[in-house]
Structures are given as structure tokens and as C-alpha cells.
Amino acid sequence: MYNIINEAGYIVVTFSGYITFSLLLDSFLNEASIPDYQYKNRIWIFKEHDELSLSMSAITSAIPIITKLYPKLPEQQKMAIVMDNNLHRSLAGILAREAGKIPYCINLFRSIESAVQWVSRDQRDVSKLRLEAS
């Protein structure tokens, strides 16, 4: 299960329970349908008690799909992944390394506060970006 919150300057996705590749892909597609998605940074949060059913092959399979669906000229430049479970950190590290094929930076965090500070730093005003794009 996941929950998406569309904050003023970024999007937060919180995952809980059993997480599969299909769930991750579904969350990405729902995020991409949010107005102003292309202008916002993102934070993905994995709760410590989550069971993660995601293999290396699933991660590498997701990269071409995300790259194809991702805006060609993205305004967002950052994605924070928050987790305090070592298994999650290992898998997210793989995703971060694979993400060199995606046009934004991925960073790993243990606290939500640190992630929010990082995605908010040097962030451009979303309303101005919308005007520039029109």
C-alpha cells in the first residue's frame, strides 16, 4: 500500500506493508498524473517494518519504464528515498546507482526531516515554472 501527498514544493509517497515491483510502478504512474508533477521534487518513504519484495532485476527493469515515462526536460532534479532498514538501504542504493540513466539525482536518507531539507534546497518556485512553460 502507498499514500501520495502533493505538498506545495514536492510530492511525498509513503509505502507501507508488502511492497512489490507492481506497487512501485503503480505509485510512479499515479505520481506522474499529479498536476505540476514535472516541476516537483519527490520523497519516497519506506517504513522500517515493511517487507520489501523487490529484486535487483525488478529494479533494473523499472529504469527503462521510468525513463520512457519521465518528462524529456524535467524541472525537478531530486528524489529523496527515506528508510532506516538496512535491506531497504541496500536496494535503494542499487536504484540510486541505476538512476544514472534517469535525468535526476537520487539521494538516500534515514530521516524525513533531512530529506525534506534536501529536496527543498535550491528549489525553484513551482508557480513561476508553470508560467515559464506556458
86: its cell numbers: 538496512
Residue range 13-40, pLDDT digits in tens = 998 877 777 888 899 889 989 988 888 8
User: What is the rounded (10 degree) CA torsion for 12, 18, 19, 20?
Assistant: -150
Maximal C-alpha separation, the chain: 44
Domains, the chain, with CATH or none: 2-61+75-124 (3.30.750)
Task: State pLDDT tens for residues 40-54.
Answer: 899 988 876 655 666
Q: Is the pTM of this model over 0.95?
A: no
Query: Residue 100 pLDDT > 50, yes or no?
Result: yes
> How does strand 10-15 pair with strand 2-6?
antiparallel
Q: Find out whether 94 and 59 touch, Cβ atoms under 8 Å.
A: yes
The pLDDT of residue 20 is 76
